[in-house]
Structures are given as C-alpha cells and as structure tokens.
Amino acid sequence: MTIQASEQSYHYGVMRRAIELIDAGGDDLPLEELAKRMDMSPAHFQRLFSAWVGVSPKRYQQYLRLGHAKTLLRDRFSTLETAHAVGLSGSGRLHDLFLRWEAMSPGEYARKGAGLEILWGWFDSPFGLALVMGTQKGICGLGFAAETGAEPTMADMRARWPQAVFIEDPTALRPLVDAAFSQSGETALHLIGAPLQIKVWEALLSIPDGHVTSYSELAKAVGAPKAVRAVGTAVGRNPVSWLIPCHRALKKSGELGGYHWGQPVKRAMLAYEAARSEEQESRLEAKQA
C-alpha cells in the first residue's frame, strides 16, 4: 500500500500551518506577512485560499480563530427541534450532497462486525489524507490521518468492528467518496453503532450546513437531556466524520471541545464550512439584487 499526499492534502497542510501562525500572532496578520511566513508569494497565497474556500486570507483568519466558536454559537446556533420542524433532518444536505443512511440492527452491532465485509481505501480530502471504509450499503467509516498518522487511524477504525473482514478496494468506494468530498450528487451511509449512538448520529445529520449546536442540545434532541456526557461520548465515537458532522457540536460555553481526529481538523472544518456558506450567501444575494 502506498499513501501519497496530493493537492488537497497539501492545502490542509497549509491551513494547519496557518492555524499555528494565527494562534501565535495575536491580531490579524497582513496578507504579505502571512504569505511570507508560509514561504509563498502574496498572490499565490491569495489564490490558494480563494480556490480552497472562496474567501480572502484575512476573512479566513477570522474563521480559524479559537474564539470563532463563540461567534458561531451566537450567530449560527441551531436548535435541533427547529431543524426537524423545517424538514432538515429528512434531507441531511451538505451543500449539493444528498445523504441516504441505513442503521445496522442492535443484534448485528453486538456481533462486532462478524460476517461483515468492509472495503477500505485511502483518499485525498480537503482535510488531508482520509481513510474511507464501506459495506455494500454505503460508507461506514471515515477518518482523517493528518494529525494522528496513517497507522493509528487504520488501527482505530478496524478496532470498531474487530470481527469483520477488511478488503482494500478503493476503486469500489471511489464513486461514494467522490460525491462525499465534492459535496455533490448522492452518497449512502451505513451506520454501525449502539442504539444511543445511532440516535446521536442521526441528530447530528439534522444540523444545517454552516451551523453548530451544543452537546446539551443534542442530548435533548435524542430524549436524554441529563445524559450529556454519554451523548458527548457518542459524538466522539462517530465513525463517519465530516459526513456525520460531529465537528458541529460545541460546548455550551463556546469552547470547541475535543475532536477524535485532532482539534486542528475540527477548526479547519468549521472554517471551511463557514467560508463556503458565506460565499453561497453572497452569490444568492448577488442574484437577487
């Protein structure tokens, strides 16, 4: 097996370095200074950001800041009750991507993958190298290796279904993965988890793109308002990151909270979605003008 970094993985690496510089730099860094520290020309750095998320580096810095989570909770907070009321839970939309999902029965889950054939492959993604796993019913696992490393990511995912048979077959998964990362078309998910976990993951799917919610809100949505800790654990065990948007769950205090694949990935995801949402809203406003 060979794992090669490509353009999108390179882009995530640039974003990761930008996060470190922004955290250390205090006030917004001018384009020229930020580009210099990234060993790029200002023009190239501007093009890279604009191509990746559609906004300027100056604007993107605001999204990458640690305090951006509090702004999201203030301006983009989603009560899941409202999301259900307007039908968002039934669509599970991420931009132009339509998600279908089917949950494994509790009995099947208890067998720890016995009798299950899981295909896997490594793919490039906007957030670095991604490990994708899937069954005949759809994607069942999606993890990111940029912060954790490829071998620990593989071990982590395989340990979730230890009795399954794992077969490397990226070609078979490619259509699902292309739809998932291009955020267009349709892809299917196969949710493999305990009953409470499935409930929490389905609730996460109802959070509108570009919005966030709190762990306590999720607990209320699944009918367990006092089980915030258990719900938080279920969020952390989400096997299909990005598509089941556990990165959109924040602490009520406005802190980001943890993220299974590394907090820099979570910050990059939130910034990416906020920037793309802003871009779409600007385009819509321009059309209506």
Pairing of strands 117-123, 165-168: parallel
Considering the candidates 80, 103, 173, 246, report the single residue annotated as catalytic: 246
Q: Is the dihedral of CA 110, 237, 86, 227 positive or negative?
A: positive
* 55 burial type by CB count under 10 A (0-12 exposed, 13-18 middle, 19+ buried): buried
Q: Is residue 49 within 8 Å of residue 268, measured between CB atoms?
A: no
The 10 Å CB-count burial string (b at 16+, else e) for 105-119 is eeeebeeebeebebb
Contacts of 228 (CB under 8 A, 6+ apart): 215, 216, 219
Tokens 């694949």, residue located: 261
> Is 140 in the active site?
no
Closest CA to 278 of 119, 104, 55: 55
The catalytic site residues sit at: 246
